[in-house]
């Protein structure tokens, strides 16, 4: 059976076209047919010249159903564009970073040959990444229905005016405030826009949804991490007349009038990312953000498993009261509080217990 790999590249950059040509040559040399879009192939051959490599055109010679894997050469934006193309076909994406950070990419430009070798030898695994299902409603009617891999970001449409919103989780309102926007993200998107807005970094293996306010003018406007089965919602209030706009992965956009409502849930359809390296996410975090880890010695090697250390238990002392133990001093006499009936001065109509009412 013929193996085919789709090459997606940012053909507006020379570095990307050179990497695409190199990948096509390596794949062809290993009996794998490289596939490209007609426009991107024309850009590459028109700029670099004819390579002599047998190529196939997506949409003319083959369809996405015939593709084993998509190799994306570029930054996170190029990978997000590729996700739009292949999400309905369950074709895995393998990113080679040519951008700045490239959190979605699996390898760097200098590792391109090794990455192609891993594809040739099928030494890659496929990882499912959660997506968001996004619904926009106005007056109870659905006006837009889309999705996002990283995040859906509600932003103010007027630069000079904050947007007023009320946030909601599982059908219950939380709080309202003025802000520059609200980001609702997946764990994959926790290192993107949500991270810049002050949200937490969530490991990809954690199933959760995030809600992160952007420059909120409020006392309680903290990032939230909720269950993946929860429903997040944000309503654009009309009290100041400001309108908003939502961006899904920075690519798909919808304008929002005051009174609009955005509902976000977990999508039933994920995006598949291919991985050639099995390094933990913490290692990728350190590498991508260039975090300082000098001085780390790591956990000490243990010859055998040590038992649980028995630490002393410190009991909290209680203050002594008059009920604890016998009295230590002389006991004062108890006064006789009994009032003889004939000496009672009570003038009401109710007699004391045992008194004659006549």
Q: What is the pLDDT of residue 352?
A: 47
Of the candidates 43, 61, 66, 76, the residue annotated as catalytic is: 76
Phi-psi region of 259 (alpha: psi -120 to 50; beta: other; left: phi over 0): left
Sheet of 151-156, strands arranged across: 224-226, 209-214, 181-185, 151-156, 244-248, 252-256
Q: Which secondary structure element, helix H or strand E, spans residue 165, and what is its range?
A: strand 163-169
The helix (run of H) or strand (run of E) holding residue 263 is strand 261-266
Q: What is the pLDDT of residue 239?
A: 85
Residue 339 pLDDT = 60
Active-site annotation holds for 43? no
Helix ranges (DSSP H) in the chain? 14-29, 38-48, 76-86, 112-120, 193-196, 281-289
- Cα 106 to Cα 346: distance, rounded to the nearest angstrom: 94
pLDDT tens track for 299-344 = 877 767 778 888 888 888 777 665 556 666 777 777 776 666 655 5
List the chain residues with pLDDT less than 50: 352-353
Q: What residues form DSSP beta bridges with 145?
A: 135
């Amino acid at each position: 059976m013929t193996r085919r790999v789709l090459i997606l590249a940012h053909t507006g950059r020379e570095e990307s076209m050179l990497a695409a040509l190199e990948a096509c040559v390596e794949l062809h040399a290993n009996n794998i047919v490289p596939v490209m879009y007609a426009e991107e192939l024309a850009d590459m051959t028109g700029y670099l010249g004819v390579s002599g490599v047998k190529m196939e055109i997506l949409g003319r010679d083959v369809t996405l159903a015939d593709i084993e894997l998509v190799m994306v050469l570029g930054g996170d934006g190029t990978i997000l564009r590729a996700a739009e193309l292949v999400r309905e076909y369950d074709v895995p994406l393998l990113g080679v970073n040519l951008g700045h950070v490239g959190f979605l990419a699996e390898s760097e430009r200098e590792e391109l040959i090794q990455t192609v070798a891993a594809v040739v030898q099928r030494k890659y695994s496929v990882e499912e990444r959660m997506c968001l299902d996004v619904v926009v409603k106005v007056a109870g009617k659905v006006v837009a229905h889309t999705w996002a891999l990283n995040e859906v970001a509600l932003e103010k449409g007027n630069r000079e005016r904050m947007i007023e919103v009320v946030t909601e989780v599982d059908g219950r309102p939380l709080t309202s405030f003025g802000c520059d926007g609200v980001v609702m993200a997946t764990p994959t998107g926790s290192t993107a826009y949500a991270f810049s807005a002050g949200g937490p970094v969530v490991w990809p293996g954690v199933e959760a949804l995030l809600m992160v306010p952007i420059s909120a003018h409020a006392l309680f406007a903290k990032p939230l991490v909720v269950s993946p089965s929860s429903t997040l919602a944000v309503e654009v209030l009309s009290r100041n007349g400001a309108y908003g706009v939502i961006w899904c992965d920075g690519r798909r956009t919808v304008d929002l009038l005051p009174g609009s409502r955005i509902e976000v849930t977990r999508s039933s359809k994920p995006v598949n990312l291919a991985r050639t390296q099995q390094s933990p996410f913490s290692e990728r975090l350190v590498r991508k953000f260039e975090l300082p880890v000098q001085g780390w010695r790591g956990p000490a090697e243990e010859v055998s498993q040590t038992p649980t250390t028995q630490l002393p238990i410190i009991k909290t002392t209680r203050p002594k009261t008059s009920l604890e133990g016998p009295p230590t001093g002389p006991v004062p006499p108890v006064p006789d509080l009994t009032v003889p009936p004939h000496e009672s001065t009570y003038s009401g109509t109710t007699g004391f217990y045992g008194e004659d009412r006549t």
